[in-house]
Structure 1
Amino acid sequence: MASKQASVASFVESAPPGELSNVVADIKALAGNDASLLQSLEPAFRKYNEEQYATVKLPGSSEAVIVSEHNSMGDNRYFDTASQTSFQVEHSSQTASAVQQHPLESSNADLIRSLQKSFSKAAAEHFPSSVVGIYPTSSDSDIAILLVANKYSPQNFWNGRWRSTYTLSPSSGGLKGAIKVDVHYYEDGNVRMSTSKDVDVSNASGADAVVREIAKAENKFQEELNRAFVQLSEGSFKGLRRQLPVTRQRVEWEKIGGYRLGQDIGGGRSK
């Protein structure tokens, strides 16, 4: 059972963006009545949601909030500084419940509120759909700045996720973090791209300055991705196949059924 559990847990933790519900359905179909297996996978579901910055909507609210280790209170409970609430999460279904008041108590409370406002505004300008989370660290000396943007297009067989994670030191103005992009394309195949970039900025003082530095770093990363895709399309991918057949003539596919292999395509005499 241990080996089986580990294998299925690995399957859960590697689920592509927006496809955890499909993974859960597959596991239930394979597990049948094995409720103990599903229950044993709770740590894997929790790890996936926290690492992928899963978003949930609180009961009675249309606004989504982030689930991560940065705002974890333990026992599957998390807090949100913007709404000043805490909530319980059922990880396999990615649903929230048991909302309670959770006032923001931090020596950096004013800066956290300013960052929430500035970063949310900037994110709305660059992403069609995104969620921002600003949290005090456990030591209350630093601030964790999170952003997740999801774009799902199952009708076109692709899903994607952008995650940004930064740690701000208000005392020094240091800003460090990483940007991660994960895209899955699965029409007539299975292609997945996962890439990241580290960010290190000094002298980022004040909410507006911090957000400007983040926007600058993320725009630069986006431009680098665009250039890389153009190079792949115009260079590496084209090198994988010929532009024309060896005859230097385009194949008339509507007539392919009438070709005789040796004579019509190769130009030689058929035998």
Structure 2
Amino acid sequence: MGSTVEITSSFIEGAPPGELQDVVKDIKTLTSDDDPALVAKLKPAFEKYNEEQMVAVKLSGASDYVLISSYNKLSSSQYYDTASSTSFTFDQTTQKPSSPQSYTHDSQHSTLISSLLKNLATHFAEHYPPTSSPSAYTVCAVPDDSKIAILISSLKASPKNFLSGRWRTSFLFDPSTNTLSGSIRVNVHYYEDGNVALSTSKQFTNVSVEGSGNADSVVRKVAAVEKQYQEEVNRTIVGMNEGSFKALRRQLPVTRQKVEWEKIRGYGLGGDLRGEGKR
């Protein structure tokens, strides 16, 4: 059996989209007597979660959100935003940004990055409907400046409706080969009267970009790949609803109505559940 830090780190890294603070609250409740300083020891797990989930945060005075990722990272608590030419401190535990400062990240691809940001803004507005949950896109050079990271993270978290979900697009564009490589990941958590999770992803390698590799052609290729994958996921879900799930059990009893479990003792099991009403 692993240590408390190892076990709770796995809880953090496996937290559903938008539900990290709920998990932290539970960890504090369960472990406060064992190790009051436990949460402070979990910073590596928080950092991994925030970067892999590409959490969106809004800087003070900014109108748009920026993503937390390993690509726009300056240190374990410092990140930068290409669009606003800003660096900032990020608390991995509370997911709060602070101390924004003017910052320009030098890159040989600066002109293309600026164009990609403009084109991606249009794509994001058209295909990612605004929600009350923070969502964003980020374009930046990778640490060795050989490629350009194109990142999109869209969160829908609705605790009142017992659901949360996140779509993540993460591509690296290589100007030298005019290709895109990366992944699209979808996570959904539904927890009303149960606990159902969907986790699906697809990897893409050396996807050719038509044309000369300008910003418009790159974003159009990203949009085409996203559309294709969304259609694949939709077909899979429809197939599961029509096949796999129906094979597990009836969606409704033969009465075609949901069972009111709190009244189960009042049912005439021999008749009511067979659909035999009183004559």
Q: Please report the TM-score for the alignment, with normalisation by the length of structure 2.
A: 0.86
Counterpart amino acid of 2:10?
A: S
In 1, Cα distance between equivalents of 2:14 and 2:269: 48
Seen in structure 2, the aligned counterparts of structure 1 residues 220 and 258 have a Cα distance that, compared at 3 Å, is closer
After TM superposition, where is structure 1 displaced by more than 3 Å over at least 4 residues in a row? Answer: 242-245, 249-262, 264-267
Q: Which residue of 2 aligns with 1:202?
A: 208
Distance 1:159 1:28, change over 3 A: same
Q: Aligned partners of 2:269 and 2:204: how far apart in 1?
A: 60
Question: Alpha-carbon deviation of 1:37?
Answer: 0.9
Unmatched 5+ stretches in structure 1: none
Question: In 2, Cα distance between the equivalents of 1:230 and 1:202?
Answer: 30
* 1:8 alignment counterpart: 8
Call closer, same or farther: CA 1:234–1:80 in 2, change over 3 Å. same
Map of 1:216 onto structure 2? 224
Counterpart in 2 of 1:107? Answer: 108
Cross-structure match for 1:232: 240
More helix by share: 1
1:124-163 equivalences in 2 (<5 Å): 124-129=125-130, 130-163=135-168
Question: Residues 159 and 184 of structure 1 are in contact (CA less than 8 Å); yes or no, is this contact kept in structure 2?
Answer: yes
Asked which structure has the greater CA Rg, the reply is 1
Would you say the 8 A contact 1:80–1:133 is kept in 2?
Answer: yes
Distance 1:101 1:186, change over 3 A: same
Q: What runs of 5+ residues in structure 2 fail to find an aligned partner?
A: none
What residue number does 2:85 align with?
84
Structure 2 contact 166–188 (Cα < 8 Å) conserved? yes
Shift of 1:120: 1.8
Q: Which moved more, 1:32-41 or 1:174-183?
A: 32-41
Q: Which structure ranks higher in relative contact order (CA pairs < 8 Å, sequence separation ≥ 6)?
A: 2
Give the Cα–Cα distance (whole angstroms) in 2 for the partners of residues 182 and 243 of structure 1. 24
TM-score (norm 1): 0.89
Is the deviation greater in 136-145 or in 79-88?
A: 136-145
Q: CA deviation at 1:162?
A: 0.3
Compared CA separation, residues 244 and 148, structure 1 to 2 (3 A): closer
- Residue 172 of structure 1 contacts residue 203 of structure 1 at CA under 8 Å; is this kept in 2? no
Number of paired residues? 264
**Counterpart among 186, 208, 225 of residue 181 in structure 1:** 186
Mark the CA change 1:243 to 1:148 in structure 2 (over 3 Å): closer, same or farther.
closer
**CA separation of 1:260/1:19 partners in 2, compared to 1, >3 Å: closer, same or farther?**
closer
User: Which aligned pairs between 1:249-268 and structure 2 lie closer than 5 A?
Assistant: 250=255, 257=266, 259=268, 261=270
In structure 2, C-alpha distance between the alignment counterparts of 1:222 and 1:145, rounded to whole Å: 18
Cross-structure match for 1:165: 170
Output the aligned Cα RMSD.
2.7
Partner amino acid, structure 1, of 2:85: Q
Contact map agreement 2:255 2:275 (CA 8 A) in 1: no
